[in-house]
Amino acid sequence: MKDSYLRGLVLQEFYAKRRGGQIGIGIDGGHCLEVPGVDEQEILRISGQLAQYFLIEWQGQDDPFGKPMLGIGKITAFGVDVIEGERLAPLPIHIDQSHNVQHVHIEGQHGGVQVAGAHSYQHQSIEQDIGKLISAIDAANVSEAAKQETKGLLKQLLQSSAVRAILGPIVGDLLKHL
């Protein structure tokens, strides 16, 4: 399983148990974090990654060879905001928001398209990619008129009914950047 998926699973578990205080991993008894199908070593390793980006507070202990043995931690306010879709994650994290999936029907030969919820990883990724595109247009070695023409074309694309049907509410946020 990719680390981005593991990070999402572990962070979601910290989120689900956030009201219980510190959560132990590799510690007998107490409030422990378990992720179905993921072994303890992977959870410890991923917890260290999440702590590097301030998504969780973490105190881990390694063996003499640098292998994680145990740890204790809790989700930070920043981590809560990432899970709830209020802030973008500082590293790739796949957060399953399948309970927020909506079905959008676009007329034509391709039939229906399924798109994730408004604050899903998929929408965050699209928003980041379009932001990078806008930055690249601004930095391009072309005339100001060419930059404005390109941004105008991008704006037309974002305002199309098909794109609005697929992306929904994030279109308004994207248009603010143009």
Claim to verify: residue 78 and residue 102 sit in the same structural domain: no
Does residue 89 belong to any structural domain of this protein? no
One domain for residues 73 and 39: yes
Q: In the predicted model, is pLDDT for residue 116 greater than 50?
A: no
Which domain covers residue 148, as residue numbers?
98-176
Strands (E), 12-101: 23-25, 56-62, 68-75
**CA–CA gap between residue 82 and residue 90 (Å, rounded):** 9
Please check whether residues 103 and 75 belong to one and the same domain: no
The pLDDT tens digits of the residues spanning 23-64 come to 888 776 556 788 888 888 899 999 999 999 999 999 988 889
* Domain presence at residue 39: yes
Mean pLDDT of 118-122: 53
DSSP letter, residue 169: T
Domains identified in the chain, total number: 2
State the Cα–Cα distance between residues 114 and 105, nearest whole angstrom: 8
Last-in-domain residue among 33, 56, 83: 83
**What is the rounded distance in angstroms from the CA atom of residue 16 to the CA atom of residue 166?**
30
Pair (7, 76) in one structural domain: yes
CA neighbor of 25 nearest in space, from 66, 75, 59: 59
Q: Show which of 53, 83, 113 is a domain's final residue.
A: 83
CA 69 to chain centre: 27
Q: Does residue 133 belong to any structural domain of this protein?
A: yes
| Final residue belonging to a domain, choices 17, 50, 83 | 83
Q: Both 78 and 54 in a single domain?
A: yes
Q: Is residue 140 part of a domain?
A: yes
141 shares its domain with 71: no
Domain match, 59 and 124 both? no
Of 36-40, 66-70, 121-125, which gets the smallest average pLDDT? 121-125
pTM: 0.54
CB 16 within 8 A of CB 9: no
